[in-house]
Amino acid sequence: MIALTLAEIATAVGGELIGGAQATDVAEPGDLVVEGSVETDSRLVRPGSVFFALPGEVTDGRRFVPAATEAGAALVITPERVDTTAPQIVVADGYAALAALAHEVVTRVRMASADRVDAEGRPAPLRVVGITGSNGKTSTKNMLRTILEQHGETVAPQGSFNNHVGAPISMLRVTYDTRFLVVEMGASGVGHIAALVRIAEPDVGVVLKVGLAHAGEFGGIEATQRAKSEMVTDLPASATALLNVDDDRVASMRELTAAQVVGFGTSADADYRITGIETDRSGTRFTLTAPPVPAGDPSADGGRTGGPDHVDVRLAILGEHHAMNAAAALTVAHRWGVPLADGAAALASMTRAERWRMELLQGGPEGVTVINDAYNASPDSTAAALRTLAQIVRPGERTVAVLGEMAELGEFSTEEHDRIGRLVVRLGIGQLVVVGRGAMPIHQAATLEGSWDGESVFIEDVDDAVRSLQDMLRPGDVVLVKSSKSAELRFLGDRLGGVTE
Binding-site residues for ATP = 133-139
Q: Which residues fall in the annotated binding site?
A: 133-139
Strands, E, within 111-184: which ranges? 127-132, 154-155, 180-184
CA distances to 89, 302, 330, 333 from 242, in Å: 39, 19, 11, 12
Task: Please state, in angstroms and rounded to a whole number, the distance separating the CA atoms of residues 8 and 13.
Answer: 9
357 in Cβ contact with 139 (< 8 Å): yes
Roughly how many angstroms between the first and final C-alpha of the chain, as a whole number?
32
For residue 22, give the amino acid letter. Q
Map residue 348 onto helix, strand or coil. helix
Helix, strand, coil abundance in the chain, percent, nearest 5: 40, 20, 40
Task: Please state, in angstroms and rounded to a whole number, the distance separating the CA atoms of residues 423 and 6.
Answer: 58
Task: Please state, in angstroms and rounded to a whole number, the distance separating the CA atoms of residues 132 and 186.
Answer: 6
Strands, E, within 362-445: which ranges? 369-373, 398-403, 431-435
CA dihedral 242, 286, 406, 494 (to 10 degrees): -130
Q: For residue 291, how far is the Cα from the chain centroid? A: 27
Helix (H) / strand (E) element for 273: namely strand 272-280
